[in-house]
Each structure stands twice: as C-alpha cells, then as structure tokens.
Chains A and B, each alone.
Chain A
Amino acid sequence: MRILRIGPLGISTHRRTFAVGLVLLAALAALLVFALMQGQSDISILDSIRAAVGISVGPPADFIVGQVRAPRALTAVLVGAMLGVSGAILQSLTRNPLASPDFIGISMGAGAGAVMTIWLIGATSLWVTAAGAIVGALATAALILALSWRRGIVPLRLILAGIGIGFVAQSLSQYALTRMDVHDAGNALGWLVGSVTGRTWTHVTVCAVILAALLPVVLWHARALRTMEMGDDAARALGVRVGLSRSILAVCSVLLAAGAVAVTGPIGFIALVAPAIALRLTRNAGVTLLPSALMGALLLLAADQVAQAMPATLQLPVGVFTAAVGAPYLMWLVWRASRGGPS
C-alpha cells in the first residue's frame, strides 16, 4: 500500500488516487476560471478572478462576474460535489452501482418536500425551501427503508421501492402545483426543472454550510464505509460499529442529496455517474469519496458550460445535458449487468 504522508498526519490514499485528485482539482480550477470569463461581456482573466473573490474592479465585471457568473459557477461546483459524494455513499452502502439518490426516489422526495413547502408556507426564503426538501428527502428515505427492510437492507428491494416511491413523490409535487397560486406555481415549476441559472451567493452559502457540516462526518466514517463493503460480519469483526456507521452515512447521503435538490432542483445522473467515473479513474477497490466529489463538481460545471454555450433558441436547463451523458452510461450498466458481467 502506497501511502501519502504529510507531517504527523497522513492521508490514507494510493498515489494514483492522489494524482487523479490533483488532476481533477486542476481541471476544476481551470474550468471555473473559464466559466467566470465566458459570456456576452469580455472581461479579462485577472478581473474575473478579482471580481469573483469580491475585489471591486468596477463595472461591468463587479456585477456580471461577482453577482451572476461566480455564484452560478460555484453553485454548480458545490452541488456537483454534494451529488457526487451522496451517490458514492449510496452505491457503496448498497454495493450497487445503480443506486443513486435520483434513482431511488430521494431526489423526488426532496422535490416534493420543497414544492409542498412553497405551497403551504410560500417561497419565503431559500432556507425554508431547503428545510422542506430535507424533510421530504428524509421522509422518503425512511419510507423506502421501511418497505425494503428484511432483516437488513436488500439492495434490489431498496431500488424497486425507491423507484415506486419516487413516482408517488412526483405525483405529490404535481398535485401541489395544481393547488397553489399561479405565482408560487411558476416559482416551483421553474425550480423543479433543475438548473443553476440565476443562483445567488445565498445558494452558494447554503451549499457551503451543508458541505462543511457533512463532509467531515462522511470522511470520518470513510474507513468504516470501505470496510462494510466486505460484508457486515467482516466489518464488525474488524471493529466497525456497522449499524451506527451505516445509519450516519445513509443520513449524510440523504441530506447531501436533499441540499442539492433544494438549491438547484433535481439534477439527474451526476450522483449516478460521478462516483463510477472516479472509481475507474483511480482504479480504487471500493468507494472513493473525495474524487467522487471532484468528479461531480467537474461534471456539473462542465454540463452548465455546455448548456450556456447553446444558442439562445436552444437554451435548456443543465439537467438535460447531465442526462445526455448519464443515460448512455446507465444503458451501458444495464447492458453489462444483463450479460452477467461484473459490475
């Protein structure tokens, strides 16, 4: 095992994982700068960076970069990371590459929670909507667990139950939409599409707070997560408190997905694809959390850039583009599984 050591602390990782992480980080930084500069107005690279970090360089950069492009790009980065980690945890816990919060109904549950909140309380603040999404996601997760629990999580039942409950949640959202007043419905509908357009520093703050709170918890249990991939008995025998670690990790996964949905609406496929790509790039045996986060950030930011680069007549929400990458991957997974190959 090749281990990287920094002073007395150390990061238990393979050199390859570390190298892949660095490359992803560099690519993300480059794409972020590109995203700040890209658009109708030409603003120099230095001015873009200054404006993004809050140093005034005068109009129009202060507004265009500082208030429009920077929060939008950072929202994409943070939401992508949240989805990447959420998917990685879920896939590891269920030992199933098909598990991701947007497939097993968590995202739909979060969506329904947010729409109901807008209906009952009104779109007063993003924090309220986010709380609604989190309640919706947790309720959905609890329901899925209750339906699929047979002396432990049965992965196939979990996925089937999740798909079913996802549809129920979606119809709840639809029902709420028909009942609320037109203005709120417009708000909710625009949000249900899944997009990072028009996101503000408040959105960035919500994401940052959720990530800052949950990521350390997740990383603290990373070794337990990897150990549980060997089966519950083996993990327990290796000193992992399986029930406790699994509950904490599952809740973190649900909260990350819910937070992402609250901020951008449901954006599909990132949580499914990012961990899988990260796994293949790092050639790690078992879950890789940070590379999954970086990969998710990179994918969502890139998808949003593609979405923005489309001609005005073709302006589509970013979820359409993540689906364009994710759907073929999903088909490939199903095709491979049906051939009985390893997954």
Chain B
Amino acid sequence: MTRLETRGAVIGYGDTTIVHGVDVAVPDGRITAIVGPNGCGKSTLLRALVRLLSPSQGTVLLDGEDIHRIPTREVARRVGLLPQSPIAPAGITVKELVARGRTPHQKVLRPWSAADEMAVTSALHSTALTSIQDAVVDELSGGQRQRAWIAMTLAQDTPLMILDEPTTYLDIAHQYDVMDLLHHLNVRQGRTIIMVVHDLHQAARYAHHVIAMRDGVVAAAGDPREVFTEDLIREVFALEARVIPDPVTGTPMVVPAHGPGGAR
C-alpha cells in the first residue's frame, strides 16, 4: 500500500538535473529512510515528494493523483514537512510555533477552532513540551527546539510526515530522543514517516523501509536488513565496510573495514 510515489521522476533546479528518473513508493504506515552520500539527490527527491519542486519529467502521485494537480492547501493537509533549516520568528513561544502548524486548516475569517486547539495540545503532549509551551523557542536547547518543530509538523495533522535530516546538529542523546519520538508517532498514531538521514545505524534501527540513492538514482530499496549489505555500501558510499548485527536490536550495523589511518 502506498499513498505517495514517484514514477520516472526527473528532478532538478533550472537546467541542472539531480534526480534521473526514479520510481519510489513510500509504504503506508511505515517509517521510510532515504540515505545516500552527499549530493546524491536525496533531499531533492524529498522536496519533490512534498511538492517544493516539480519533476521536469514523470510524476509524483499523492493518493494516486498528480500532486501538482492538487491545491497547495490540500497537499498541506495530507503531507507535512519539517525542512532542514526552518526559521523561528524572533520571540515566538513554543505553543505559538506549534499553532502555526494549523495554517492549512484555517480560513481567513475563521481563525481558530476547537479542532485546532486539540491538535496543538496533543502535539505538545506527544513531544513532551506541555510544561515548556510558553518558553521562547530561541532560548531552548537544540534538542528541545527540534522537538518544537516536530510538534509544529504534528499539529499540521497530516497522515504523512516528511523530515529532512531531523537529527543533524543534535548531540547523540538528542538524536535518539528524536528517533524514539518518530518511532512512537509511527506506532501509536500510525503516521507514515519519510526522512532523510545520514546515520545508517539510525536508519537501520528505526526505518522499516530504506531507499539508498547514488548519483540521482535509486541504488536499492527495501527492508534495511536486505539493503544494507557490504556490496551495497561499497557501491553507494564507496566505502569498504563490514555489516554486523547491532548487539541490541539485531539490525545491520555498518562499520568501516579499515582502522584509523585507512586501508586505501
């Protein structure tokens, strides 16, 4: 089952083509991780999935319909996005920020409904931000700030959530904090989550489905246990690596095959 897929999507900026005709299908109700080396087109693909970019050829289908034929606001009610570096307006409080996630549900003359209030309260609760909802976002720690942004995306109340490198710039404890949060949102609320991540270990632990990209094409897609092989890591990342089971979860763990100093 998929609600979001691409068919032969060629995506780029201006004359530069970055993604060369990919077919991906995002499994419904699962966590999908897009991985790949820098510049492989994973963020570009992500942007096309949420309609920030339009493919020059091929299509992106949301619920079977060309996403570019669906009104902007309607897309925003089905797919939420946490961009890589969103800007928090100076002085905004956590609750105000989260409330902005309700934008696609609001009308000009009917600004705030009980449903809006409920979605915000529940988003604050799910992200454990209720106690600091009146704090100013600029003054939060990096981890709390990221949770506030995730809460904003949650309040948008979309069945599909797309996150562009949600753990970048966070320390290791906060990274796992965010990953656990996404896991809970997936399990408890049944949200479909699509994320770009750099850390293969995290991708293997948390994602049900992995899309590995290289040079603008999909090199492999599927269950992380099948995708993360030594051959694939060599092919995609040009890295000689061993893949061993994670001692805690049993998921594949990618370890470089050379020690410090390098084998090359």
Contact = CB atoms under 8 A, between A and B. Distances in A.
Q: Do A and B come from one complex?
A: yes
A1 B101 CA distance: 13
B134 to A, nearest CB: 11
Contact of A237 (B81, B87, B95, B117): B81
Interface in B34-72: 47, 50-52, 72
Interface stretch (A110-118, A220-228, A295-303): A220-228
Contacts of B111: 3, 10-12
B100 A236 contact: no
A309 to B, nearest CB: 36
Interface stretch (A199-207, A238-246, A251-259): A238-246
Interface residues of A, number: 29
Nearest to B105: A239
22 contacts: A1-B96, A3-B111, A11-B111, A226-B89, A230-B86, A230-B87, A230-B100, A231-B83, A231-B85, A231-B87, A233-B84, A234-B87, A236-B50, A236-B52, A239-B75, A239-B77, A239-B104, A285-B92, A285-B93, A286-B89, A286-B92, A342-B90
Contacts of A285: 89-93, 96
A341 to B, nearest CB: 11
Interface of A: 1, 3, 8-12, 95, 220, 223, 226-227, 229-231, 233-234, 236-241, 283-286, 342-343
B95 A1 contact: yes
B27 to A, nearest CB: 21
Contacts of B109: 9-10
A54 to B, nearest CB: 33
Contacts of A241: 72
Q: How large is the interface on B (under 10, 10 to 19, 20 to 34, 35 or more residues)?
A: 35 or more
Nearest to A342: B90
Nearest to A280: B91
A285 B98 CA distance: 13
Contacts of B120: 1
Contacts of A239: 72-77, 103-104
Contacts of B50: 236-237
Contacts of A343: 90
B112 A238 contact: no
Given A10-B112, A285-B93, A238 B87 contact: no
Nearest to A13: B111
A40 to B, nearest CB: 46
A282 B111 CA distance: 19
Nearest to A237: B81
B104 A9 contact: no
Contact of A234 (B47, B83, B90): B83
Given A12-B112, A223-B106, A1 B90 contact: no
A1 B93 CA distance: 10
B156 interface: yes
A114 to B, nearest CB: 34
Contacts of A236: 50-52, 72
B96 A230 contact: no
A195 B47 CA distance: 50
A79 B156 CA distance: 39
Contacts of A223: 103, 106, 108
A220 B111 CA distance: 12
B215 interface: no
Which of A3, A10, A238 lies at the interface centre, i.e. has the most chain B CB atoms within 10 A of its CB?
Answer: A238
Name the 6 nearest CB pairs between A and B, nearest first: A239-B76, A285-B92, A12-B111, A237-B81, A239-B104, A239-B73
A238 B72 CA distance: 8
A303 B89 CA distance: 31
B91 A283 contact: yes
Contacts of A234: 81, 83, 86-87
Given A8-B110, A226-B100, 8 more contacts: A12-B111, A223-B108, A231-B87, A233-B52, A234-B87, A237-B83, A238-B100, A238-B101
Contacts of B138: 342
Contacts of B91: 283-285
